[in-house]
Amino acid sequence: MSSGDGTKMSHSRQWNILVVTSDLGGRGGIQRHSRTLIEVLRGHLGLAVETCDLRLDGTWIRRVAGLSRGLFHLFHSRPDLVLCTHVGLAPIGLFATRILNTPYVVIVYGVEIWGIESCKKHRLLSNAAGTWAVSTFTAAKVGELYPSASRPVMIGTGIRNSFFEPLTDAGTCPPTLLTVTRLDDLKYKGIDVVLDALKLLRKTGTEVHYVIVGDGPARAALATMVDDKDLSDCVEVLGAVSEAELLTQYRRAHVFVLVSRYAEGPNPMGEGLGLATLEAAAAGVPVVVGQQGGSVDTVEDGVTGLLVPPGDPSAIARAVQALLYVDTAAAAERPEIISTWTKRRFGLAAFAERLRVALHEVGVSV
């Protein structure tokens, strides 16, 4: 890799990375992934990391202001590599390459890839030195839909150590199902189907308590849906919670459920990976997830949880029953098995190693 003046850089010097983010302090999965990424680049890989938090959406005035701020960071910090945490932020990287001869990498997640294709996305991905995907599914979709992009590298994500704590035996009766998600689109996240599965469970005599953590514009619609399905007595919507409370909810849950639907085109849906699923698994909770999209990376089917057709309430109900009713010995061993599997693949050390490999492919040796 070359510096901005075209000279060859020594591997003995510290590498300087500019990470371009959007709403870095937000609660969303991309924002949380970005914070962990920065933590690992600094703490595990010893890189000098500067962040540039901006927005390139909204009005043209906001876009111009964000672009100007990004360019200021570029010229001020003169990084060795620009890491764009979303394809929407990649124009900053393209400027870095065109103006300063500085390479850039784009991190890709999900629906922004398998939604509507555009010439702009093709240009931004094809000029990037690297494309880093959060799941094997997303990586494959980049190769399929954007063949001119650099070969995608799967980096996954990293789950912080605080999530790898023993499962709390709350002794609750009935058992608790948990979903953690932003309430933007109930159909996308499959909450409507989970509610239908609850009704089926009731018919078989299986009583469960369903806790939903998250907030968003669809919360009122969710309350109406719960009432319409006559499930108000067994569904609890907590809204947005602190990280400490989130950890508590994971540790109290008996089964985590997130059965997101998948669709391509103008109204794309689907999980790029499933950060909340991995957090639940880190706590030793078995998971039920949809068998489409990046969710398949978050579970070893039949070991750490079960994959189900996301639109099938009967399949979801059967999966929940299968995970709830296991023999005592298996139930005692299961949390450690699930947590160990998750840490081996998605702990911070595993994430750091994947980032090390990905950085090496774009010329950064750490």
DSSP one-letter string for 26-62: SSSHHHHHHHHHHHHHHHTT--EEEEEE----SSHHH
Is residue 102 within 8 A of residue 74, CB to CB? The reply is: yes
137 and 168 both lie in a single domain: no
In this prediction, residue 13 carries a pLDDT of 64
Domain count, the chain: 2
Which CATH number characterizes residue 64's domain?
3.40.50.2000
User: Is residue 197's pLDDT more than 80?
Assistant: yes
61 and 123 both lie in a single domain: yes
Phi, psi angles (nearest 5°) of residue 235: -120, 130
pTM: 0.91
117 and 192 both lie in a single domain: no
In this prediction, residue 134 carries a pLDDT of 98
Antiparallel, parallel or unpaired: β 81-84 and 48-53: unpaired
Range of the domain at 112: 16-158+347-361
In this prediction, residue 338 carries a pLDDT of 97
102 and 177 both lie in a single domain: no
pLDDT tens for 329-351 read 888 899 999 999 999 999 999 99
In this prediction, residue 328 carries a pLDDT of 84
309 and 269 both lie in a single domain: yes
For residue 177, the cross-strand partners are 210, 255
Query: What is the CA 98 to chain-centroid distance, rounded?
Result: 30
Decide if 5 is inside a domain. no
229 and 151 both lie in a single domain: no
Is residue 23 within 8 A of residue 35, CB to CB? The reply is: no
Decide if 244 is inside a domain. yes
Decide if 98 is inside a domain. yes
pLDDT tens for 131-177 read 999 999 999 999 999 999 989 999 999 999 999 976 655 555 689 99
184 and 308 both lie in a single domain: yes
205 and 92 both lie in a single domain: no
226 and 116 both lie in a single domain: no
Distance CA 296, CA 135 (A): 9
In this prediction, residue 56 carries a pLDDT of 63
255 and 297 both lie in a single domain: yes
Decide if 9 is inside a domain. no
107 and 209 both lie in a single domain: no
- Token couple for 281: 């698994």
Decide if 115 is inside a domain. yes
In this prediction, residue 360 carries a pLDDT of 96
